[in-house]
Amino acid sequence: MEYMFASPDCNAVEGLVIGINGTFPGPTIRAKAGDRVVVTVINKLHTEGVVIHWHGIQMRGTPWADGTASISQCAINPGETFVYNFTVDRPGTYFYHGHYGMQRSAGLYGSLIVDVKDGEKEPFNYEQDFNFLLSDWWHRSVHEQAVLLSGKPFHWIGEPQTLLINGTGQYDCTWKTELTDNTSLNHCETSKDGERFCKPLILHVKPNKVYRLRIASTTALASLNLAIEGHKMEVVEADGSYVEPFTVDNLDIHSGESYSVLLRTMGLPSNDYWISIGVIGRDPSNTFLGQAILTYFRPTHKPVQIPTTKPPQTPDWKDHNRSLEFAKKIVAKKNYNSPKPPKISDRRIILLNTQNYIDGFTKWAINNISLTLPPTPYLGAIKYGLNDAFDSKNKPPENYDPNYNISNPPLTDATFGNAVYDFEFNTTIDVILQNANVLNKINTSEIHPWHLHGHDFWVLGYGEGKFRDEDEENFNLENPPLKNTVVLFPNGWTALRFVADNPGVWAFHCHIEPHLHLGMGVIFAEGVDRIDENEIPKEALACGLTATLNLQTAARL
Ligand code: C2O
Ligand code: CU
């Protein structure tokens, strides 16, 4: 891991990105289900710590490899090395990213693809797969962004300048109009007379075939929609689980989600086609949207042309109902031993999402508490009963004030906190995410994609307004999809269920990087007593109050 100069969107001024082995985005890791993945991270960032989270991998048996600073491990210091060693148990489309401060926004991410075991088959066939790792990009450095957000008064970082596909986008450049198949020109080029050109990503396909597009979003902020000119897509996988296939003209994808779609190519292609990526859920303002080109191999070796057509228009960003309809189409695949949720839950937690002031600072809070991560990783603090490492005396609230009006800005300040929801091992937990109005603006509620570490959950339902007990009657217990990230729509609620059967300490948070930075998350723990302390790498806990544990063992030897 190393900072390097780059201009992912061909902006004339280069910025800093965090590269891995000299590349941005980081290299794609490809494994087979059941493989042991060993990644050695060497921190060459000079002045800041780093960790890598393996988004969507459950880390069963290796909770210390989850890569969350202050939760599963200590940040890896500059010059230090840490080895992640974990099993990828389920095939699917995943990714990895930084999980310390706002390093994901600094470009610390890459794809992680898990293929089925040898001899096993996917429930669909395809010729070849393509990988789309989507992200968004700001020209301001991530350090400036963090300072803006943390200030008093609060300064919003604004919408991203550019959307990126596999780390490339178009900001200050025009597409090169003719691209030969074998030009290996860099993404950005400046001609002799100073004109800036850039090359879009090109997918080469053959007629009458089926291709799998693996699409994952690691955006810091934007919710996206992807459309392919003249082609439909069949959605077959979501967050590493197979779904009942359905066909769409365009696909919604929120930060933290991943999908596979099948793309059927035509028999007689006449053209090259645009692939468009647009913003939904928030006003994109001046964001430069993403584009790629789908091109058919033709008998004549004509160079690829930039299509003369207009890229397909992605849907209106304000149309939350359309997005909700899309989300509801995602259900577990029929007749495929998709695991079903337990019929009843043992505990229900309702989490109210609000934007609040705390001493004049603007924060996000859950049941009025804004998360501040402690210096000692929870995994060690709980394992060794270090009660002073975090607020271990209090239990975070299971619900919010029933009189709270979700249609108005909050009337009171929130508080900071870092207490833990602890679950009895193997119990079934329901979480209801409840949205509300933001600060200062009436009739405004934001979209939040929530991501759970260490588990998949079943998405039992979505609703408008306040969740009521009766809403439970409409939960989908028949074929709810398994996901690790789910959207909380403006002014609504989302219900999910999971079984607390994975010993460890797990973050559950909004996947919007600035929101998490401003406290929008909670901490879950279960079965920590079942973790064998000898298996936890010493370096994982060599900080905070757990630092002395190592010294004590050393002294005893
Ligand atoms: Cu992809 Cu806790 O995040
Ligand atoms: Cu959020």
Is 517 close to ligand 1, i.e. is its CB under 6 Å away? no
From the list 383, 404, 391, 406, the residue with the least C-alpha distance to 522 is 391
pLDDT at 180: 59
Residue located via tokens 């900080």: 543
What are the structural domains, with CATH classification, of the chain?
A: 122-328 (2.60.40.420), 347-547 (2.60.40.420)
Sequence length of the chain is 557
Phi and psi at 553, nearest 5°, equal -65, -40
Residue 190 Cα to ligand 2 middle (Å): 38
pLDDT at 184: 53
Residue 242 Cα to ligand 2 middle (Å): 26
pLDDT at 557: 59
Do 437 and 443 form a contact (C-beta atoms < 8 A)?
yes
| 3-state SS class at 61 | coil
pLDDT at 554: 61
Angle CA 434–510–369, to nearest 5: 65
Do 397 and 367 form a contact (C-beta atoms < 8 A)?
yes
Do 315 and 410 form a contact (C-beta atoms < 8 A)?
no
pLDDT at 71: 98
pLDDT at 300: 67
ipTM of the complex: 0.98
pLDDT at 187: 80
Q: Outline where 362-444 has alpha helix (H).
A: 378-383
pLDDT at 93: 98
CA 233 to chain centre: 22
Ligand nearest to the CA of 100: 1
CA distance 437 to 394: 27
Is 97 close to ligand 1, i.e. is its CB under 6 Å away? yes
The predicted model scores a pTM of 0.96
Ligand nearest to the CA of 485: 1
Averages of pLDDT over runs of 10 residues in the chain (557 residues) are 92 92 96 98 96 98 98 97 97 98 96 96 96 97 96 94 94 78 66 84 93 98 97 98 97 98 88 93 92 84 80 93 97 91 98 97 98 97 96 96 96 97 98 97 96 98 97 97 98 98 98 97 98 94 88 64
Is 254 close to ligand 1, i.e. is its CB under 6 Å away? no
Spatial neighbors of 517 by CB under 8 A, at least 6 apart, are 101, 102, 146, 149, 150
CB atoms within 10 A of CB 479: 16
Nearest-atom index, ligand 1, CA of 218: 1
Residue 14 Cα to ligand 1 middle (Å): 27
pLDDT at 551: 66
CA distance 255 to 527: 29
Q: Outline where 102-153 has alpha helix (H).
A: 142-150
pLDDT at 553: 66
Residue 13 Cα to ligand 2 middle (Å): 30
Q: What is the dihedral of CA 389, 390, 392, 397, to 10 degrees?
A: -170
CA 401 to chain centre: 30
Residue 361: DSSP 8-state? E
